[in-house]
Amino acid sequence: MRTLDLTGVICPMNWVRARLALEGLGPGEALTVRVDPGEPLESLPRSAEEEGHDVTIDGDRVTIVKR
């Protein structure tokens, strides 16, 4: 599983980096990103969901399963 530390990275750069990491994965593969609480923890999962990926949140860790 790929992981990415995006703490200290604000929107939309955090989603840019997560998205590029997702491009390197196959369908069903997961990417776990760490983001700051607050705005990034709200907007990054929403962006991933809007693109059809499965998203689970555990604390400050967002796991995105590529569709």
Partner 1 sequence: MTLSDSELERYSRQLVMPEWSGEAQERLKRASAIVVGVGALGSPAATYLAAAGVGRIGIVDSDAVELSNLHRQPLHYTPDVGGAKAENAAVKLSFLNPEVQLEPYPVRLEPTNAGPIVAGADVVVDCSDSFATRYLVNDASCAEGVALVEAGVLGLSGLVTSIRPGRSACYRCAFPVEPPEGSVPSCREAGVLGAMAGIVGSIQALEALKLLTGVGEPLLDRILQLDGADLRQTIVATERRAGCPACAAVPAAAESR
| Residue 53 sits in the site that holds partner 1 (CB under 8 A) | no
* CB-facing half-sphere around the CA of 33: CA atoms within 13 A: 25
| Residue 39 sits in the site that holds partner 1 (CB under 8 A) | yes
35 φ/ψ angles, rounded to the nearest 5 degrees: -130, 165
Q: Which of 3, 9, 10, 11 is catalytic?
A: 11
| Residue 60 sits in the site that holds partner 1 (CB under 8 A) | no
Closest CA to 64 of 35, 38, 7, 12: 35
In the complex, the residues that contact partner 1 under the rule CB under 8 A are 11-12, 14-16, 39, 42-44, 46-47, 50-51
